[in-house]
Chain A
Amino acid sequence: MSELRLSSIETRGVPGKKRYAMVIDLRRCIGCDACMVACKAEYDVPLGVWRTWVPYRVVGTYPNVRKQFLPRLCNHCDDPPCVRSCPVGATYKVEDGGFVLQHYDRCIGCKACMASCPYNARFLLPKNRTSTDITGVVDKCTFCHHRVVQGMAPACVQTCIGRARIFGDLNDPSSEVARLVATLPTQVLRPEEGTKPNVFYIGADRNLTEHGRAVYNPPEVLERDRQAFDNHKA
């Protein structure tokens, strides 16, 4: 049975069109952060902001504790709210491939796209870039569009030591991502938002993917961490 298409912008199952997706196998992620470093190097991503990041949560009771990782990035949604909310069309979806990209020269910095993204995937580029003069506009992961169109894998995928990140065309039934999504139980983040993400997780735990009760009245150490993070950014 074919998948239900709700929006004309969707690329799923469109004949002749690619629909790039990433599968992240959390059983393989060791939290080395090499993906974050590769992404930073690829794009000169300034300090304090990330196109991809790997938050973790410590679970268990001492001495049986472990860290759970959840690599994050733009979900290149099939129905992206950021594209809808941008007043000047600075954010757009590439029909062939499904990349959600950004016209930096159009962006007015209203941050409506940031407000509309359920995944916190977007950030404002600060002024402290070392070798790029694009600043003061909203940026995000591009699924390494420039690499993919040349037949290469995204930087984070190429560098992942555990091969936890797998990238490919979901519309191609013979691709590894299509096989993984078809044969293994996968999860997406915040499916209730109707964005139809193209980043799929294997082994994602609800403790990681949902808002925890700890958000309210967070432990003091968390607030100290946030303060230190904000000071560092400033």
Chain B
Amino acid sequence: MGDFNIFHQMPWSGSYAIYFFVIGISAALFFFSTLSWYQAEFKPIRASAFYLSFLLLGLGGLLLIGDLTQPGRFLNILNPAYLNFASPLAWGGLNLISFGLVSVAYFFMLRSNNEPTGRLLGVIGSLLAVGLPIYTGFDLTVHQNRPVWNSPLMPVLFVALSLVSGAAVASFLAGKNEQLQVMLRRFMLWSAGGVGAMLISLLGTTAYGGVGAEQTFMFLTSGALGGIFIGLGILLGTAAPIALLVTPFGHRQTGILSAAVLILVGGMALRYAILIGGQIVQTYF
């Protein structure tokens, strides 16, 4: 005889993890495009990083709207009479749309190659871009009943994940440009290090949390989800690229690109595991 007669569904499915992944890369690529106005090494990817960022922003927007059960009402989020500023989703919606508008202006500026305007729009856009991983992190943090999610680390972790995944994608855009690869390698190394440090903290606080948190820790570290979180996310997607990047092989283009592939696999796995892991135990309550 089972203990339950009714089961609950996870409200947020894996498609949200794809959105987090895509939007994080989009934000970081815009940042690298902006950086090109200040660091000459990034100039070769100024346009390509931006175009890919814009494409991913559009894809992310479609994923987000497509996941609503009332996609036709997504404009409600722009209705001042409806907006609830206590919700991070309201801020996130406005942030996303503002970033989209600045990206459009940046596109026209790139065509005209106007440097002062480019710098200004780049800085504004980058500030809005960093808001995207921050809001997605807050989106999870504010749910006080969810183990793993309800941690002040989430917004910072999502910024670091955005930066490391974006740098990984940018390393493919950089091609054989050695100077740029050196810079991107540093970004990947330090961001992945930050992600690793935060994950250790997160695992520690989750393991020593209340009953729900402790059980979430068990889900995250064993079984199928454990394989995704520990195997793909931490070992293959965070520890292995760090180890690779500090070796002499990791200083060469092939090594950097190999690390980038691992980082992208790990970035997606971590987002998925954190999203799903925070919801499993609750489905049994």
Residues of A within 8 A of B (CB): 50, 53-58, 81, 83-90, 106-112, 114-120, 123-124, 136-137, 190, 192-194, 210-216, 218-219, 221-222, 225-226, 229-230
A116 touches B145 (CB 8 A): yes
Looking at A111, A213, A214, A221, the one whose CB has the most chain B CB atoms below 10 A away is A111
Stretch at the interface among B46-54, B72-80, B173-181, B196-204: B72-80
Complex Cα–Cα for A90 and B84 (A): 9
8 Å CB contact of A87 from B93, B146, B212? B93
* CB-CB contacts below 8 Å: B188-234 with A: 210-212, 215, 218-219
**Contact A55 to B4, CB < 8 A, known contacts A87-B90, A112-B89:** yes
Complex Cα–Cα for A190 and B11 (A): 19
A216 touches B5 (CB 8 A): no
**Contact A53 to B143, CB < 8 A, known contacts A58-B1, A216-B215, A216-B219:** no
Complex Cα–Cα for A26 and B215 (A): 27
Complex Cα–Cα for A230 and B10 (A): 12
**Contact A109 to B70, CB < 8 A, known contacts A211-B284, A216-B218:** yes
Complex Cα–Cα for A193 and B4 (A): 23
User: Is B285 interfacial (CB-CB < 8 Å)?
Assistant: yes
**Contact A214 to B3, CB < 8 A, known contacts A108-B76, A109-B70, A116-B143:** yes
Q: Residues of B within 8 Å of A, CB-based: how many?
A: 49
8 Å CB contact of A81 from B67, B144, B218? B144
Looking at B3, B74, B210, B283, the one whose CB has the most chain A CB atoms below 10 A away is B3
Nearest 7 A-B pairs (CB), nearest first? A109-B69, A118-B145, A87-B89, A114-B11, A111-B11, A87-B90, A88-B82
Could you show 6 A-B contacts with beta carbons less than 8 Å apart?
A: A54-B5, A55-B3, A109-B71, A137-B70, A216-B215, A225-B4
Contacts of A87 in B (CB 8 A): 77, 83-84, 87, 89-90, 92-93
Complex Cα–Cα for A230 and B8 (A): 9
B3 to chain A: closest residue by CB: A57
B84 touches A89 (CB 8 A): yes
**Contact A115 to B2, CB < 8 A, known contacts A106-B82, A108-B74, A211-B284:** no
A221 touches B12 (CB 8 A): no
B69 touches A136 (CB 8 A): yes
Contacts of A192 in B (CB 8 A): 210
Complex Cα–Cα for A118 and B219 (A): 19
Residues of B within 8 A of A (CB): 1-9, 11-12, 67-71, 73-74, 76-77, 79, 82-84, 86-90, 92-93, 139, 142-146, 210-212, 215, 218-219, 279, 281-285
Contacts of B282 in A (CB 8 A): 118, 120
Q: Smallest CB–CB gap between B41 and chain A, Å?
A: 40
Complex Cα–Cα for A119 and B142 (A): 16
A110 touches B4 (CB 8 A): no
Complex Cα–Cα for A86 and B88 (A): 9
Contacts of A88 in B (CB 8 A): 76-77, 79, 82-84, 90
A211 touches B215 (CB 8 A): yes
B94 to chain A: closest residue by CB: A87
A86 touches B87 (CB 8 A): yes
A229 touches B211 (CB 8 A): no
